[in-house]
Amino acid sequence: MPGPAPQDHPYPDSLVPGEGPEPHPQLEPVLPLLGRWRGRGRGEYPTLEQDFRYEQEITFSHDGRPFLRYESRAWLIDGSGTPLRPSGRESGWWRVMPDATLEVVLSHPTGIVETYAGRVSGPEIELTTDHVARTPQAKKVTGMRRRYTLRDGELQIAQDMAAMGQPLQHHLGARLRRYPA
C-alpha cells in the first residue's frame, strides 16, 4: 500500500509558531528564526578580483524535534538589484542542546561540509567551525565563523572565512527581513 502523497507528509515542517507541530522546548532560544527571510548583502575576499552584491533567502523550519532545518539560497545581483546568476547554496540542520549551545551541520553543492559549534545568547548566535570536510576538487576552505543577530525585525548575518591560504576574515554580510511563507 503506498504512503501519503509527497505534499501530505504525516509530520510536516512548520515555518510559523502555532502552525503545525508544537516546537520542542529546546528550540525556545531559536524560535524567532522560524520562517523565511530574504534580503541583500555584500561579499569580499582577498582572492576575489572585486567585491560582489547578492540577494539571499534563508528558511528555518522544524518538525517538533529539537533541531531546525536550514536552507539558504543566494544569487548575484548588479547595482540595481537585477539578478545575474545563482550563487551560494547550502542546507543542513541546527541542533539545539538543553543549555542553548548549538551543533550545526551544513552541506554545499560545491563539495564542502561544515560542522559548527556555537551558542545562542539572547538575540545573537555565534557559530564557529569544528570541522570542514571537502571533496578532492572543492575550494580549500579551512574555517568559518558566522554571526546571526535579530534586531528590529531584521536578521543580520556576518560570515568570516579562512580559505585558499588566507586567515579567517570577513567574507559576507547581509540584512534579511521576514518574507511571506
pLDDT of 109:
97
Which residues neighbour 75 within 8 Å (Cβ) at sequence distance 6 or greater? 54, 55, 83, 84, 85, 86, 87
Give 27: exposed, middle or buried? Use CB within 10 Å, 0-12, 13-18, 19+.
Answer: buried
pLDDT of 2:
54
Report residue 88 CA to chain centroid gap: 11
Along the 181 residues of the chain, how does pLDDT read in single tens digits?
555 455 566 778 888 877 888 999 999 999 999 999 999 999 999 999 999 999 999 999 999 999 999 999 999 999 999 999 999 999 999 999 999 999 999 999 999 999 999 999 999 999 999 999 999 999 999 999 999 999 999 999 999 999 999 999 999 999 999 987 5
pLDDT of 56:
98
pLDDT of 14:
85
pLDDT of 20:
82
pLDDT of 98:
94
Q: What is the CA radius of gyration of the chain?
A: 17
14, amino acid identity: S
